[in-house]
Structure 1
Amino acid sequence: MKRLVYSGPPETVGIVEKEMNGRFEVVAPGEEPESLLPEIERCAVFLDASMKTRLTEETIAKAKALELVATATTGATHIDAEALRRRGIPLLTLKGQTEFLRELTPAAEHSWLLLLACARRLRGAIEGTLRGEWNRQRYPGVMLRGKTLGIVGMGRIGTWMAKYADAFGMKVVAYDPYADEFPPGTERAGLDRLLAVSDFVSVHVHVTEETKGLLSADKISGMKPGAVLINTSRGEVVDERALLEALRSGKLAAAGLDVLADEPDIGRSELWQYARQSERMIVTPHIGGYCPETVERAVAFACGRIRDYCEGGAP
């Protein structure tokens, strides 16, 4: 029997076994590279729901029996897609699975949480209180009503962000050259104008060759002074060195990030190092879409795509 190696939360292994229903020998060695990589080299199918291990060209070359790679995520920057393509191995992600994804809201909810936390200087207020301080004047917040939210990428998550902003009485401008329709009340704008007028900028685009470095040093320099940047898409979309300098100089008031270009090797990240020293930076470990109920649904859906592919249907 062919082997399927699964990397994901231990509590979801049973879902994979149930969905595969004896089609594969399901092996779940854990999410850490030292236990996972040797198993990948022996499997026919690799299903990933953790994004903790990079599937490099070297590993792919060693995986002689590998026939299919699938993820229960929309992004797959941790997987060398070009190395898979050269071997003719399909890569199935959740990107483009609109009907399934549209009702999954945790990533948008987490994006809004980061926006609120930055607006109210929540990290500093919590840390100060835990140090025994009680000084409300030290952490003045920003009222959202009447402020402008700029949304870069008006897809599923961006659309939810526009709805949340409307509920808070904010103005919304959005940039997305590929979106045909924007939510009611949302102003379509070029990227330069969006950055110039927005008090908060939230980024929600897939990482592609076109979007890598989309928020370049020049774009960040054109942001409204005192603005806040939220990024829950991918670290590669933002020039992280330019963002760091904008925070250090006071050009930007704060940043809330759920992604870093160097993740999961965050020790190399200058933004992570800065966050250890500054309350103006909030960094979370790529947890935007991570809620047990949504992970379970995504894993089951990914298993269904694997079944469809193996049965010769459209994945």
Structure 2
Amino acid sequence: MSHKPSIIITGSDLAQEAVDLLSDYQLVYAGRQPSEADLIALCQQHNPHAIIVRYGKISASIMDAAPALRVIAKHGSGIDVIDQAAAAQREIRVLAATGANAAAVAEHTWALILACAKSVVTLDARMREGHWDKAQHKSIELEGRTLGLIGLGAIGSRVAKAGVAFGMQVIAYDPWAKQLPDGCEAVELTALFNRADVVSLHCPLTEQNRAMINRDTLAQFKPGAMLINTARGGLIEEEALANALQDGTLGCAALDSFTQEPLTAPHRWQSLSNVILSPHIGGVSDTSYVKMGSTAARNVLSVLRAGAVEESTSA
């Protein structure tokens, strides 16, 4: 039985670099898809000082099962899976690994944009079926087209720079952005929907922007536009998007995040040929896996060590 204070990881693994940083703690792995009941049971058993969140959600009930809990660190940037109000009430710090996966998500965004524009998935499937579509197929050329970005943080800014390099007109909506990348124009949201050939989401999910892409806003898109989401599934009203794809309002969509994860099967997305799907892996690369784990570990230590200093000072 370990006498080290414990940290729960809501996953089955952590980068070795992060494990090394946390050598003074007992690491308890909750598995790939821990339920609320699983996490409550582990908290009651181990009374962790910290939780590193890879998968699942952290509710007030989970926090209450861990009286020693001082910090919840996200293995990534999306802290909407943590009940932040409940954490604040219990004086539990919530920290994100901001920017640790920015390069990976930006690259995946461009993989999805290009896959849509160049019909990569469709043409591959046709080739495997024995077809040779050179005579009738025309892909979409991005140079001169308009890229609309919602959110200009670490990820959105990288996507913007690549858009400029592709020769696109880049417009963005982000009322909190302190500065814009070179070649990027700030616009209001309605103007972005009206003008963009490609709309890409790069904002956190909040109660204010939940379902911001819905039937009414989709009606403002340019006919045949593309929608890319490597941010959060809750930003999109999925039924409205599916209808827009089916009736031709949108030309194509590519989704890496979903309202409910993992995606259940059968699902309507599987019947639509003009949507590309990936299992929320935009931020998971060989390099970002290490960066996210190490940053989450350092975030945990910053809180726990500060607390230890305070306790020794007051003793």
With normalisation by structure 1, the TM-score equals 0.87
Q: 1:15 matched to which residue of 2?
A: 17
Q: 1:294 matched to which residue of 2?
A: 288
- Displacement after TM superposition at 1:258 (Å): 0.7
Matched, 1:31 2:50: no
Distance 2:50 2:124 in 1: 41
Return structure 1 stretches of 4+ with deviation > 6 angstroms: none
Q: 1:257 matched to which residue of 2?
A: 255
Matched, 1:6 2:9: yes
Check whether the contact 1:5–1:43 (CA below 8 A) recurs between aligned residues.
no
Matched, 1:56 2:59: yes
- Displacement after TM superposition at 1:310 (Å): 1.1
Secondary structure of 2:115's aligned partner: helix
Question: Among 111, 122, 125, which residue is 2:109 paired with?
Answer: 111
Q: Alignment length, in residue pairs?
A: 302
- Displacement after TM superposition at 1:205 (Å): 0.5
Distance 1:154 1:130 in 2: 39
**CA deviation map 1:256-311 (0-9, x unaligned):** 111111122x218xxx8232122200111111110122111221121112111112
- Displacement after TM superposition at 1:19 (Å): 0.2
Structure 2 unmatched runs, 5+: 310-315
**CA deviation map 1:39-95 (0-9, x unaligned):** 2343323443532x2223333333344332111211023222233333332222224
Check whether the contact 1:229–1:254 (CA below 8 A) recurs between aligned residues.
yes
Structure 1 unmatched runs, 5+: 96-100
With normalisation by structure 2, the TM-score equals 0.87
Check whether the contact 1:234–1:259 (CA below 8 A) recurs between aligned residues.
yes
Percent identity of equivalent pairs:
30
Question: Among 282, 285, 301, which residue is 2:279 paired with?
Answer: 285
Secondary structure of 2:105's aligned partner: helix
**CA deviation map 1:131-163 (0-9, x unaligned):** 233323564310111111111111211111111
Secondary structure of 1:106's aligned partner: helix
Secondary structure of 1:4's aligned partner: strand
Q: 1:63 to 1:116 in 2, by over 3 A?
A: same
Distance 1:48 1:196 in 2: 41
Distance 2:220 2:68 in 1: 50
5 Å matches for 1:105-184? Answer: 105-137=103-135, 139-184=137-182
- Displacement after TM superposition at 1:201 (Å): 0.6
Q: 1:210 to 1:229 in 2, by over 3 A?
A: same
Q: 1:98 matched to which residue of 2?
A: none
Q: 1:311 matched to which residue of 2?
A: 305
Question: Among 228, 231, 237, which residue is 2:229 paired with?
Answer: 231
Q: 1:285 to 1:45 in 2, by over 3 A?
A: farther
Question: Among 66, 74, 77, which residue is 2:77 paired with?
Answer: 74
Check whether the contact 1:230–1:255 (CA below 8 A) recurs between aligned residues.
yes
Distance 1:201 1:7 in 2: 32
